[in-house]
């Protein structure tokens, strides 16, 4: 039955964001790590000429990067985002801070540059990276995996001890595992898709709009967002339903996109000179949530990151959650020499938390596109800030728990629900905070919310 199970040797599928971080964490602890990646080495082929796509990095992700020794290099190219810059339909703008000060912010990082940094640290830690190797089939009984080189079409078969699937939402390892056992897989499509557009630098080379914010143009059933890049551009993402008006069914050409922007995103339109070109040439991305009941196949294979729990991008947590998975899996593997038990513990710890952030990500779409400009919401947010100041140990806003702390996602979801009920209840019938009875408010908070451990 193949190799001894407790050998500190592992084969990772995918050298994307999670694959590279996991490889680094394990190689740093003396594991022998081989990573197989479908694409070529981006450090050789280069991302040059490609589009800039960025991601919001938050505390969970930074924590994992610190453990892997990559935080300084990543932060050197990150752009701070203090809050949401809301662009109202009438052209007014308003910065809604995410946290209390600049210690509570998120960071925009360039996906391509991030991947290059992570590959460098993985290699430096001793992981062996094999590029141009797409996982094609797995013989789990014999512990042999076959990889195809997409360029030469040659197939190479290697022995493994266990496989880790860090091969993203369309995971080939997941498909291979599903041929052996029922993973309880279910994909829920959101019914909305996205298109990326670009705001180039201004004539003088500077940013065209406020760089230290995540810009949002909320328009009810749809929205645009823009995140800054260190090269002074912004990546704009237009989210629209797939059907109805407007939708990707009704907005089909560059001219349709211009008409939509003229009507709904007037202040963004002059910032995107290649709107028609970007709209027609960039692919339309589908959005879905992937749920699995099982993440591992005995001691042979385990999934993490998007391969296990792809989510919609509205909380900016997919990568952050994937990095948190890497830390958890490395810890369980290191602590527990029985591989199957380690995988089972990893799944027991992470699956409920993945479910919770998947749900919060879905909820955040509604909040971003429809609520950030609504009066009730703004009053509740104002009270939330007051309560967070008055009871910092008890009332921690959900966004703060998710983005600036490492409270397990499931705890953040549960406490967030209790807090939201409280905000709705306390502001009911009030048009401003001036008419609240603060003695009662404070008593209710103390009665309903237990203190949250300071180290979470
Ligand atoms: P991936 O990054 O997808 O990496 C998978 C790797 O596996 C790739 O390198 C791929 O080439 C390789 N691979 C695939 N198939 C094979 C195969 N058969 N054999 C070998 N290798 C293979 N997250 C955030 O935290 N913040 C954000 O702001 C954010 N914004 C997002 C915006 C959008 C529009 C989208 C779609 C996602 C966003 N995410 C964000 C989510 C984030 O991109 C993912 O959660 C993250 O990339 C998951 O990392 P991963 O390593 O699991 O998968």
b vs e for 244-282, b when ≥16 Cβ sit within 10 Å of the residue's Cβ? eebbbeebeebeebbebbeebbebbbebbeebeebbeeb
The span from the CA of 342 to the CA of 339, in Å, is 5
Q: What mean pLDDT do residues 240-253 have?
A: 98
Q: Tell which CATH architecture fits domain 9-83+109-185+289-363.
A: 3-Layer(bba) Sandwich (3.50)
Apex 133 CA angle, 129 and 138, nearest 5: 110
What is the predicted ipTM?
A: 0.99
Tokens 């992937």 found at = 290
The span from the CA of 53 to the CA of 229, in Å, is 8
Tokens 């000429």 found at = 49
- 111-125 and 59-68 helices, crossing angle to 10°: 30
Given a cut of 50, is residue 208 above it in pLDDT?
Answer: yes
Among 408, 295, 406, smallest CA distance to 342 is for 295
The answer, yes or no, to whether any atom of ligand 1 lies below 6 A from the CB of 86, is no
Given a cut of 50, is residue 345 above it in pLDDT?
Answer: yes
Q: For residue 56, which atom of ligand 1 is closest to its CA? A: 28
Query: For residue 5, what pLDDT band results from cuts at 50, 70 and 90?
Result: very low
The span from the CA of 244 to the CA of 451, in Å, is 46
Given a cut of 90, is residue 370 above it in pLDDT?
Answer: no
Distance 381 CA to ligand 1 centre (A): 32
User: How many angstroms from the chain centroid is the CA of residue 28?
Assistant: 25
CA distances from 31 to 15, 37, 204, 333 (A): 17, 19, 50, 10
Q: For residue 61, which atom of ligand 1 is closest to its CA? A: 25
Q: What mean pLDDT do residues 437-444 have?
A: 96
Element containing residue 420 per DSSP (H, E): helix 409-427
- The per-residue pLDDT for 122 is 98
Q: What mean pLDDT do residues 223-239 have?
A: 97
The span from the CA of 294 to the CA of 351, in Å, is 9
Given a cut of 60, is residue 4 above it in pLDDT?
Answer: no
- The per-residue pLDDT for 50 is 66
DSSP string across 177-220: HHTTS----EEEEEEEEEEEEEEPPPTTSS-SS-SSSEEEEE-S
The answer, yes or no, to whether any atom of ligand 1 lies below 6 A from the CB of 225, is no
- pLDDT tens track for 387-417: 999 999 999 999 999 999 999 999 999 999 9
- pLDDT tens track for 305-327: 999 999 999 999 999 999 999 99
The answer, yes or no, to whether any atom of ligand 1 lies below 6 A from the CB of 295, is no
The span from the CA of 119 to the CA of 17, in Å, is 9
The answer, yes or no, to whether any atom of ligand 1 lies below 6 A from the CB of 19, is yes
Ramachandran sector of residue 268 (left: φ over 0; alpha: ψ -120 to 50; beta: rest): alpha
Residue nearest to atom 45 of ligand 1 (CA): 318
CB-CB contact of 250 with 240 (8 Å) = no
CA distances from 149 to 41, 134, 277, 313 (A): 13, 6, 33, 31
Distance 387 CA to ligand 1 centre (A): 37
- pLDDT tens track for 265-294: 999 999 999 999 999 999 999 999 999 999
Given a cut of 50, is residue 7 above it in pLDDT?
Answer: yes
Q: Report the percentage of the chain scoring pLDDT > 70.
A: 98
- The per-residue pLDDT for 46 is 61
For the record, the structure tokens of 369 come out as 């596109």
- The per-residue pLDDT for 6 is 47
The set of residues, in sequence order, having a beta carbon less than 8 Å from that of 345 and lying 6+ positions away, is 332, 336
Q: What is the mean pLDDT of the chain?
A: 95
Q: Ligand 1, residues 318, 321, 350: which to mutate, most atoms within 8 A of Cβ?
A: 318
Q: What mean pLDDT do residues 324-338 have?
A: 97
Q: What mean pLDDT do residues 3-7 have?
A: 54
- The per-residue pLDDT for 49 is 53
CB-CB contact of 193 with 222 (8 Å) = no
Given a cut of 50, is residue 2 above it in pLDDT?
Answer: no
Residue nearest to atom 26 of ligand 1 (CA): 316
Identify the bridge partners of residue 56 per DSSP, sorted by sequence position. 108
In 3-state terms the chain splits into helix, strand, coil percentages (rounded to 5) of 40, 20, 35
The answer, yes or no, to whether any atom of ligand 1 lies below 6 A from the CB of 305, is yes
Distance 363 CA to ligand 1 centre (A): 21
Domain with CATH 3.50.50.60 in the chain: 9-83+109-185+289-363
Distance 367 CA to ligand 1 centre (A): 24
The span from the CA of 396 to the CA of 110, in Å, is 29
DSSP 8-state code for residue 242: S
Omega of the bond leading into 32 within 30 degrees of 0 (cis)? no
- pLDDT tens track for 28-75: 999 999 999 999 999 997 655 567 799 999 999 999 999 999 999 999
């Amino acid at each position: 039955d193949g190799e001894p199970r407790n050998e500190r040797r592992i084969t990772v599928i995918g050298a994307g964001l999670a694959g590279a971080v996991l490889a680094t964490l394990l190689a740093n602890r003396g594991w022998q790590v081989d990573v197989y990646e479908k694409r070529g080495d981006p450090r050789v082929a280069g991302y040059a000429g490609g589009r800039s796509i960025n991601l919001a990095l938050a505390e969970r992700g930074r924590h994992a990067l610190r453990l892997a020794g990559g935080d300084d290099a990543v932060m050197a190219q990150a752009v701070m985002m203090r809050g949401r810059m809301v662009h109202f339909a009438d052209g007014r703008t308003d910065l809604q801070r995410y946290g209390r000060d600049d210690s509570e912010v998120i960071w925009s990082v360039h996906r391509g540059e991030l991947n290059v940094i992570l590959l460098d640290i993985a290699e430096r830690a001793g992981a062996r990276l094999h590029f141009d190797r797409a996982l094609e089939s797995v013989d789990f009984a014999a512990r042999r995996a076959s990889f195809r080189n997409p360029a030469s079409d040659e197939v190479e078969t290697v022995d493994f001890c266990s496989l880790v699937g860090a091969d993203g939402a369309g995971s080939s390892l997941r498909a291979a595992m599903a041929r052996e056992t029922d993973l309880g897989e279910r994909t829920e499509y959101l019914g909305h898709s996205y298109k990326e557009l670009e705001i180039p630098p201004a004539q003088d080379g500077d940013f065209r709009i406020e760089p230290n914010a995540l810009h949002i143009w909320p328009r009810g059933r749809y929205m645009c967002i823009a995140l800054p890049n260190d090269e002074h551009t912004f990546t704009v993402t237009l989210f629209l339903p797939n059907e109805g008006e407007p939708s990707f069914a009704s907005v089909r050409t560059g001219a349709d996109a211009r008409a939509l922007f003229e009507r709904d995103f007037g202040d963004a339109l002059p910032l995107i000179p290649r709107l028609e070109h970007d709209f027609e040439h960039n692919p339309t991305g589908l959005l879905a949530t992937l749920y699995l009941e099982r993440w591992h196949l005995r001691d042979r294979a385990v999934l993490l990151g998007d391969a296990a729990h792809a989510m919609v991008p509205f909380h900016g947590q997919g990568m952050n959650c994937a990095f948190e998975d890497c830390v958890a899996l490395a810890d369980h593997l290191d602590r527990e020499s029985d591989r199957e038990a380690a995988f089972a513990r990893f799944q027991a710890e992470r699956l409920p938390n993945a479910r919770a952030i998947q749900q919060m990500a879905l909820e955040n779409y509604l909040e971003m596109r429809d609520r950030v400009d609504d009066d009730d919401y703004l009053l509740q947010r104002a009270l939330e800030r007051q309560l967070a100041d008055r009871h910092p140990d008890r009332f921690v806003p959900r966004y703060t728990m998710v983005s600036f702390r490492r409270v397990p996602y499931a705890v953040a979801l549960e406490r967030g629900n209790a807090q939201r009920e409280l905000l709705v209840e306390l502001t009911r019938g009030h048009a401003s905070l001036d008419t609240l009875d603060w003695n009662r408010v404070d008593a209710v908070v103390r009665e309903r919310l237990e203190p949250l451990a300071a180290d979470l």
